[in-house]
Structure formats: C-alpha cells, structure tokens
Amino acid sequence: MDDYLKREAEEAIGFMPPEEGSALYKSGLMAADFGPLLEIGSFCGKSAIYLGAAAGEKGTVLFSVDHHKGSEEHQPGEEYFDERLVDPATGKIDTLPIFQKTIIKAGLENSVVAVLGDSAEVAARWNRRLGLVLIDGGHSDEAAAADYEGWAPHIRVGGFLLIHDVFESPADGGQAPWKIYRRAVDSEKFLEVDSVGSLKILRRAAG
C-alpha cells in the first residue's frame, strides 16, 4: 500500500490497528474482482482509507455507510466519547465533516462514496452484488444482527465478509460481533480464510 495513504490511515481518528488495516487493504484488492466494496461504520474514515486505497487501485469504489451519529459507546459519558466529534451547534456527535476531511486529504474522493443513513434501511433497498462487506457498525446485538442479515445476502459467491471486533471471550469485548461471526460460519455460507487481531475474514461459499 502507498506510503502516504498508510500514514494518512494511521493518523486518522478511529479504531483500526495498522495490521488489521493492512489485512483490509489486501482483502479489498482480491475482493474487487467480484464487485464494489462496502463498509458499515465510516466513523472518521480510518478503515475507509485502507479499503478505498484497494478500490482505487482496482478501478472500483468503496461505499461507506454511516448515519454519522456515533454508536452507543461514542455518546457523552460513554467509554469511547471523544469531544472532537461533537458539533458545537447541536451538542451532538457528528462525524461526517471529519470523515469528509479524511477522505479528501487522502485524495480518495473518487474511490470512496459516502452513504449517509441507517445501515438496515440502506441494506433493505440495496440492489447490487458486492465483492466485500466489512461489518464494523453498531455493536449492540440488534445492530450487529441487522447488519449481518441485511448485508450478507448482497455478497457475491467468492466475495468477502469481514467482521471487526470479534472477541470469543466476553472479558476481551462485547459479544455481538462474535455472535454474527458464529452465525456466518455455522450457516456454511461463509468459510473463514484468515483472522488478524479482532478482524475475521470470511469468503462466500458456492450454493
């Protein structure tokens, strides 16, 4: 991956360690042969740089879905609250301006398409097969299940399903991503091909 983009990704606000980011980029390159890439959870654009870099190299795009209001854990008083994300006019979280700046500074405007809205609402109306879906949105059981149920059917055979923040032990993190990871593997529609940190990399099986 281009050194400048790697540095931009590492400096962006967010939750994607470099090793996992590098795995996103590599998966993105392979997945682009099957269709466009899509992520749930744009936040401030960190994962979008890794996937957008791959999309750009392969002449496709990354759709990056977020309502930009933050997840439960980003709200005031919660564990991952960050004052920089607050819109002073409303006092509420708004990550859209930061996301946009991150993508423009990285020079990825032509490779990353922002989709502003609720993930389940967008998924229900989506009508295009995808080469890759990264689930990294809300971490409640309801949000994670809705993301899996809404987006997994749009992945082309051979395409990739990536799930972030998968922790087997509750001591290491919330269990919602783990539950959808188990559902995906147990369904036999997805085969695990790799795992880097808390990132699980699965591929859509035939049939």
Q: What are phi and psi of 157, to 5 degrees?
A: -55, 130
CB count in 10 Å sphere of residue 46: 24
| Chain length of the chain | 207
Q: Which stretch binds ligand SAH (CB under 6 A): 12-20, 54-62, 169-177, 184-192?
A: 12-20
Which among ligand SAH, Mg ion, none contacts residue 71 (Cβ within 5 to 8 A by kind)?
ligand SAH
Out of 1, 5, 16, 62, the residue judged to bind ligand SAH by CB under 6 A: 16
Which among ligand SAH, Mg ion, none contacts residue 138 (Cβ within 5 to 8 A by kind)?
ligand SAH
At 59, list the tokens: 């002449």
Q: Do residues 163 and 132 lie in contact, with contact meaning Cβ atoms separated by under 8 Å? A: no
Candidates 67, 68, 74, 139; catalytic one: 139
203 near ligand SAH (CB under 6 A): no
167 near Mg ion (CB under 5 A): no
139 near Mg ion (CB under 5 A): no
Collapse the DSSP code of 105 into the 3-class scheme (helix H, G, I; strand E, B; otherwise coil) and give the result: helix
Which among ligand SAH, Mg ion, none contacts residue 70 (Cβ within 5 to 8 A by kind)?
ligand SAH
Radius of gyration of the chain measured on its C-alpha atoms: 16
* 7 or 157: CB nearest ligand SAH: 7
Start-to-end CA distance of the chain, whole Å, equals: 34
Residue 113, classified by CB atoms within 10 Å of its CB into exposed (0-12), middle (13-18) or buried (19+), is: middle
159 near ligand SAH (CB under 6 A): no
15 near Mg ion (CB under 5 A): yes
Q: Is 154 a catalytic residue?
A: no
Q: Which stretch binds Mg ion (CB under 5 A): 67-75, 98-106, 118-126, 128-136?
A: 128-136
Which among ligand SAH, Mg ion, none contacts residue 95 (Cβ within 5 to 8 A by kind)?
ligand SAH
Out of 15, 81, 126, 167, the residue judged to bind ligand SAH by CB under 6 A: 15
Q: Do residues 95 and 44 lie in contact, with contact meaning Cβ atoms separated by under 8 Å? A: yes
Place of tokens 């749930």: 40
At 148, list the tokens: 């899996």
DSSP string, 74-105: GSTTSTT--GGGEETTTTEE--HHHHHHHHHH
Question: Residues with catalytic annotation?
Answer: 139
Binding site for Mg ion (CB under 5 A): 15, 136, 164-165
